[in-house]
Amino acid sequence: MTVGMLMLAVHPDVPIYIPEQWSEAAESISWSSTPPIIFIYGAKNCGKTNFSRYLLNILLQKYTKVAYLDTDVGQPEFTPPSFLSLTIVHKSWMTFCALDLCSTLYSDCCVTWQLLAVLRKGLLTQDVQHDKLVEFCVTIAEHNLDFTMNHMILELLKQDSPSEAKVIGLRALLAIVMSPSSPDIGHYIPKVKAAIESILRSCHKTYSQALVTSSRTTIDAVTKEKSQGYLFRSVLKCIPDLIEEVGRTDKITEIIPQHGISIDSSVREEAVQVLNRIVKYLPHRRFAVMKGMANFILKLPDEFPLLIQTSLGCLLELMRFWRSCLIDDRILLDADATSLGHETERLRKSSIQQSGEAIEFRASEIDAVGLIFLSSVDSQIRHTALELLRCVRALRNDIRDLRIYEQSNLMLKYEAEPIFIIDVLEEHWVHFCLYYSILFE
């Protein structure tokens, strides 16, 4: 390889040396029996632009015109930066310097800044436009993750960006993570978490004033800005895939339950889905979800019996969902046992026990919640509380059975069986029913 490529930017009178490989490739292309279609690609600084200029001059010696499709938006040949262009060239350029026809342009040519400017002007309001922008970010990430994260998504998620920009950034980020061919974004996680945490705190602060129990004046002030609700739903969708916790003091499992009674029905639904996702994908946080929901219910004012009954029902459904997750856990254990040898499986189970990562479930705390609402004057609340007490016992037994199954080859330490509130009620059921019939006559 000669050093000719280093001399391509000098004065036109200076001779230019072309590498032998370039000459051979250009000659073979130009002697094609049909007009050729050439795609030039390669790594940085390998000479793509210079070779394309050389090949263009060679082709123009045979053909009257050549179509030049330029996809280098950073340094295009015939147009200002940031443009894709298709140019019909009909004049041969004997020097490499003369080919660059575009004059020097000083401008803001950052894709993200231009996008933010358009969003601030309110020119992109349709869902289909937002969908295309999300697809655009995902496509760029497949080829240049660093540019996508640092110069697109993190710019869109900045605090001073409009709500629409943040929504696009969050959706694109989640789409990248969920993609089957997802690149590893571990290097960017600290910045991503900080941006998402800031958005979540802001939305939580706003929408904690837009609950069913809030005043009409406060609710109207919050819900007037529709884009804020869309942003809140978008950031909730990122939990727990992109963020599991908020800082060191606030707990997501304590923040989310109150939005289950949001005045915005879409926020209510997404808040419940967040709790379900935590229960499904974060086994070590399952009891924290139950405890956070229980604490929220205990703070509800007595003058909202329907909210209490609905929230108790939500807690009951979360516990039932936990039970179904335990069934899935056992199926996974069976699958592992089938694929592993008996001795390997025994050692694996031993390592599980040694890790000390026991399933946390303090049944007495949830039992206490059920017992409190068992004294309610509302029959629906009492019925839900009774079902909750039954579910506490069933869930505790499921956890015990799974633990025994995991450690079937090990010596288990004997543990006394706890006494549940529902056990006492069932043992004295007749007296219990008589008491309540007299109490609520």
Q: Is residue 343 part of a domain?
A: yes
Buried b (16+ CB within 10 A) or exposed e, 394-430: ebbebbeebbeebeeeeeeeeeeeeebbbeebeeeee
Cα distance between residue 126 and residue 134, in whole Å: 13
**Quick one: CA torsion of 297, 301, 303, 304, rounded to 10 degrees?**
-40
The token pair at 75 is 């340094």
pLDDT at position 390, please? 92
Q: Is residue 157 part of a domain?
A: no
Q: What is the mean pLDDT of each run of 10 residues along the chain (441 residues)?
A: 36 65 85 86 81 87 89 79 83 56 54 71 79 89 89 89 90 91 85 93 91 85 78 94 75 92 93 95 93 95 94 96 92 70 40 50 91 90 93 91 69 57 68 52 49
Q: Is residue 272 part of a domain?
A: no
Handedness of CA 122, 127, 128, 130 (dihedral sign): positive
3-state secondary structure of 88: strand
Q: Is residue 106 part of a domain?
A: no
Residue at token pair 């706003």 = 206
Q: How many CB atoms lie within 10 A of CB 389?
A: 26
pLDDT at position 276, please? 96
Q: Is residue 60 part of a domain?
A: yes
Q: Is residue 195 part of a domain?
A: no
How many whole angstroms from its chain centre is CA 279? 17
This prediction has a pTM of 0.68
Q: Is the Cβ–Cβ distance between 153 and 172 less than 8 Å?
A: yes
Cα distance between residue 165 and residue 171, in whole Å: 10
pLDDT at position 266, please? 92
Q: Is residue 437 part of a domain?
A: yes
> What total of structural domains would you count in the chain?
2
Cα distance between residue 77 and residue 88, in whole Å: 12
Cα distance between residue 359 and residue 356, in whole Å: 9
Q: What is the total residue count of the chain?
A: 441
pLDDT at position 250, please? 64
Q: What is the DSSP letter of 407?
A: T
Residue at token pair 């004012």 = 301
Q: How many CB atoms lie within 10 A of CB 261?
A: 22
At which of 99, 121, 146 does a domain end? 99
pLDDT at position 417, please? 66
At which of 55, 70, 99 does a domain end? 99
At which of 50, 76, 99 does a domain end? 99
- Which are the contacts of 25, defined by CB distance < 8 A and separation ≥ 6? 51, 55
Q: Give the domain range for residue 68.
A: 4-99
Q: Is residue 73 part of a domain?
A: yes
